[in-house]
Chain A
Amino acid sequence: MAAPLCLFLKRPKLVWLFTCIVTALTFLISVLLLQQVITHGTLVYELGGWAAPWGIEYRIDQLNAFILCIISGISAVVAMAAHTSLQKELSKDRHIYFYMLYLLSLTGMLGIVATGDAFNVFVFLEISSLSAYALIAMGNDRRALWASYKYLIMGTVGATFILIGIGLMYQMTGTLNMHDLAQRLPEVSQTRTVFVSFAFIVVGVCLKLALFPLHLWLPNAYAYAPSIVTAMFAATATKVAVYLLIRFTFTIYGLSFSFTTLPLNILFLVLGLTGVFVASVAAIYKNNVKHIFAYSSVAQVGYMIVGLSVGTAAGLTATLVHIFNHALMKGALFLALAGVMYRLGNVQLSGFQGLGRQMPLTMAAIVVGGLSLIGVPLTVGFISKWYLVLAVIENGWWPVAVLILLGSLLAIVYLWRIIEMAYFKPANEHSETVKEAPFSILIPVWILVIANIYFGIDTRISVGIAQSAAQSLFGITP
């Protein structure tokens, strides 16, 4: 879209303004699109004027439009803080490339969500991930390079798995259009080829969404990338992968195939819950605050997958709401960390001593985000936990509900370590000069924090859309 233009604008500040305007416009368009879809139903745009089964189409239904809004909204807010944060973390001549890659990966993610063509998914996936690898490699620490390399290997293997799966599907049905696939697959759903293609796609997507035990690339990649990149990807990239999983398991293969013919729900349930616990425990023992939140991202992905595994409209609603809410809270947390990074130069836990008094607004944002992560009432985290537990209990899985709540307790442990450091320890001698983060970072942080609280109290918008999107998916796949 607008990414190549960035190269022509030579001054970083101009490029930054341009990025902000573009992302804000994208967000506006997504919101309008969502309204259109809600009032008029599914929208279809045929690329190049070729009709659907032959040409490539963009197909926007409520689920897409909802995810599009989340991604573009977060990226617009994050872009606002980018300029200030980058000044400390990136040499000046690289700023232009940063914005270019930022927009490219945004394009890729929006493309994955918007498209109605299975092969197109692969192409957009590679666009967004290639720019993601490059963005992560921009981190100051040399470990960023190593993390980026690992991510590249894992991510490419995942994408190639998806490619194999799509190829096998095409072999069986002769079509790449998602809608068409959904209609033709049931005829051949008992063949081994389709089973194999499904397995390849699920493993490939799970690599991308960092489901335990395929999450190993994520913590380092998030911890050593520039803070802005972390804020952007933590809030959006895994969400896109979860969307893909929903798209493939629910729309294309159909619920009865994924969950009845194959025992995917049990697999997801077990892996999701193990992910929650292993990642939360890992987070407790980490000393780099970015590491802590990165592991907690893996745990949150676990919750989303548990929601999927329930296999009812209520479960799917919980997953969608959690996608929305997790984007808000992780965006706020990592952006606040970008503020800490700006003043301190690192985010080691020991450096947080006494920050509660020196950077009150930033730390307050982290506390609110953290409470939301735990699931305290009046924050968005509570809403998603509430719906998740409701969906699980509706299915009669009492032990699972208990485990979910235990998982939240683990979140309290690792967040308490940060809060204790920030509020109850005296300040370090050398950090006494540390001041509040600059306003250009604080404003985006607080936009997200206030959104956290607002959507935690007034759930009509987020839950309403998620519910109707989930129900419409179940309408297609009875």
Chain B
Amino acid sequence: MLIGHYNYWVVVALMMLGFFIIIAHGNLIKKIIGLTIFQTSVFIFYISIAKLDGGSAPILAEGVSDYSNPLPHVLILTAIVVGIATTALGLAITVRINEAYGSIEEEFIQKQDNQT
């Protein structure tokens, strides 16, 4: 039971890792990395629930009766695109923060804000 569903353990581990990075790290790039890991864990989760033991790709063929569910794959394709867009926007904003504040460390930026 525990070993058989190892992919879900991986999902949970990645999710917590990503979430921890988002909260704990002050570096803006590292935060975005954490965010990406967090999102990726959800992608793996979706793919896991679609998989059927011994199922093949959903193409009609002789001798195949079990198919994996293609719908979550399609959903995740969309979610990956969204994830890329988010990462790109996040990085773009980070670049501009670096230009404006001269730093990408959260503490440093907060300190500058408090002064003004």
A positions within 8 Å CB-CB of B: 119, 122-123, 126, 130, 133-134, 137, 142-143, 145-146, 148-149, 152-153, 156-157, 160, 163-164, 167, 170-171, 176
The majority secondary structure among interface residues of chain B is: helix
Q: Complex Cα distance A164/B42, Å? A: 6
Tell me how far the C-beta of B33 lies from the nearest C-beta in chain A, rounded to whole angstroms.
Answer: 12
For residue B75, which residues in chain A have a CB less than 8 angstroms away from its CB? 119
Contact, CB under 8 Å: B97 / A156: no
For residue B49, which residues in chain A have a CB less than 8 angstroms away from its CB? 167, 170-171
21 CB contacts below 8 A, A to B, read: A119-B75, A119-B78, A123-B78, A130-B82, A130-B85, A142-B100, A142-B101, A146-B97, A146-B101, A146-B113, A149-B90, A152-B89, A153-B31, A153-B35, A156-B39, A157-B19, A157-B35, A164-B45, A167-B42, A167-B46, A170-B72
Contact, CB under 8 Å: A143 / B46: no
Contact, CB under 8 Å: A126 / B85: yes
CB-contact partner of B93 in A152, A156, A167, A171, under 8 A: A152
- Of all chain B residues, the one with the shortest Cβ separation from A137 is B93
Q: Complex Cα distance A164/B94, Å? A: 27
Contact, CB under 8 Å: B82 / A149: no
Contact, CB under 8 Å: A133 / B46: no
For residue A142, which residues in chain B have a CB less than 8 angstroms away from its CB? 97, 100-101
Tell me how far the C-beta of B51 lies from the nearest C-beta in chain A, rounded to whole angstroms.
Answer: 12
Known contacts A119-B75, A164-B45, A167-B49; is A145 also within 8 Å of B93 by CB? yes
Contact, CB under 8 Å: A130 / B86: yes
For residue B35, which residues in chain A have a CB less than 8 angstroms away from its CB? 153, 156-157
CB-contact partner of A160 in B31, B38, B89, B100, under 8 A: B38
For residue B82, which residues in chain A have a CB less than 8 angstroms away from its CB? 122-123, 126, 130
For residue B17, which residues in chain A have a CB less than 8 angstroms away from its CB? none
The majority secondary structure among interface residues of chain A is: helix
For residue A137, which residues in chain B have a CB less than 8 angstroms away from its CB? 93, 96
Contact, CB under 8 Å: A152 / B79: no
- Total CB contacts across the A-B interface at under 8 A: 68
Contact, CB under 8 Å: A133 / B93: yes
B positions within 8 Å CB-CB of A: 19, 22, 28, 31, 35, 38-39, 42, 45-46, 49, 71-72, 75, 78-79, 82, 85-86, 89-90, 93-94, 96-97, 100-101, 109, 113
Tell me how far the C-beta of A232 lies from the nearest C-beta in chain B, rounded to whole angstroms.
Answer: 19
For residue A145, which residues in chain B have a CB less than 8 angstroms away from its CB? 93, 96-97, 100
Tell me how far the C-beta of B61 lies from the nearest C-beta in chain A, rounded to whole angstroms.
Answer: 22
Q: Complex Cα distance A160/B41, Å? A: 10
Q: Complex Cα distance A171/B38, Å? A: 20
CB-contact partner of B22 in A126, A148, A153, A176, under 8 A: A153
Contact, CB under 8 Å: B86 / A126: yes
Other A-B contacts than A123-B82, A145-B97, 19 sampled, CB-CB below 8 A, are A122-B79, A123-B78, A133-B93, A134-B89, A142-B100, A143-B113, A146-B113, A152-B89, A152-B90, A153-B35, A156-B86, A157-B35, A164-B42, A164-B45, A167-B42, A167-B46, A167-B49, A167-B72, A171-B49
Contact, CB under 8 Å: B97 / A149: yes
Q: Complex Cα distance A33/B72, Å? A: 33
- Of all chain A residues, the one with the shortest Cβ separation from B31 is A153
Q: Which of A133, A142, A160 has the most CB of B within 10 A?
A: A160
For residue A160, which residues in chain B have a CB less than 8 angstroms away from its CB? 38-39, 42
Q: Which of A137, A148, A167 has the most CB of B within 10 A?
A: A167
Tell me how far the C-beta of B98 lies from the nearest C-beta in chain A, rounded to whole angstroms.
Answer: 10
Tell me how far the C-beta of B29 lies from the nearest C-beta in chain A, rounded to whole angstroms.
Answer: 11
Q: Which of B39, B89, B109 has the most CB of A within 10 A?
A: B89
Q: Complex Cα distance A130/B92, Å? A: 12
Q: Which of B42, B79, B93, B113 has the most CB of A within 10 A?
A: B93
- Of all chain B residues, the one with the shortest Cβ separation from A125 is B82
Known contacts A123-B78, A137-B93; is A152 also within 8 Å of B86 by CB? yes
List 3 tightest A-B contacts by C-beta distance, closest first. A142-B100, A126-B82, A171-B49
For residue A149, which residues in chain B have a CB less than 8 angstroms away from its CB? 28, 90, 93-94, 97
Tell me how far the C-beta of B108 lies from the nearest C-beta in chain A, rounded to whole angstroms.
Answer: 11
CB-contact partner of B42 in A134, A163, A170, A171, under 8 A: A163
- Of all chain B residues, the one with the shortest Cβ separation from A163 is B42
Known contacts A122-B79, A171-B49; is A130 also within 8 Å of B89 by CB? yes
Q: Complex Cα distance A153/B89, Å? A: 11
For residue B85, which residues in chain A have a CB less than 8 angstroms away from its CB? 126, 130
Contact, CB under 8 Å: B22 / A146: no
For residue A170, which residues in chain B have a CB less than 8 angstroms away from its CB? 49, 72
- Of all chain A residues, the one with the shortest Cβ separation from B35 is A156
Q: Complex Cα distance A160/B22, Å? A: 13
Tell me how far the C-beta of A196 lies from the nearest C-beta in chain B, rounded to whole angstroms.
Answer: 11
Tell me how far the C-beta of A177 lies from the nearest C-beta in chain B, rounded to whole angstroms.
Answer: 12
Q: Complex Cα distance A123/B85, Å? A: 12
Contact, CB under 8 Å: B100 / A133: no
Tell me how far the C-beta of A208 lies from the nearest C-beta in chain B, rounded to whole angstroms.
Answer: 14
Tell me how far the C-beta of A174 lies from the nearest C-beta in chain B, rounded to whole angstroms.
Answer: 8
For residue B79, which residues in chain A have a CB less than 8 angstroms away from its CB? 122, 163
Tell me how far the C-beta of B27 lies from the nearest C-beta in chain A, rounded to whole angstroms.
Answer: 12
Tell me how far the C-beta of A200 lies from the nearest C-beta in chain B, rounded to whole angstroms.
Answer: 10
Tell me how far the C-beta of A237 lies from the nearest C-beta in chain B, rounded to whole angstroms.
Answer: 17
Tell me how far the C-beta of B38 lies from the nearest C-beta in chain A, rounded to whole angstroms.
Answer: 6
Contact, CB under 8 Å: B78 / A157: no
For residue B78, which residues in chain A have a CB less than 8 angstroms away from its CB? 119, 123
For residue B96, which residues in chain A have a CB less than 8 angstroms away from its CB? 137, 145
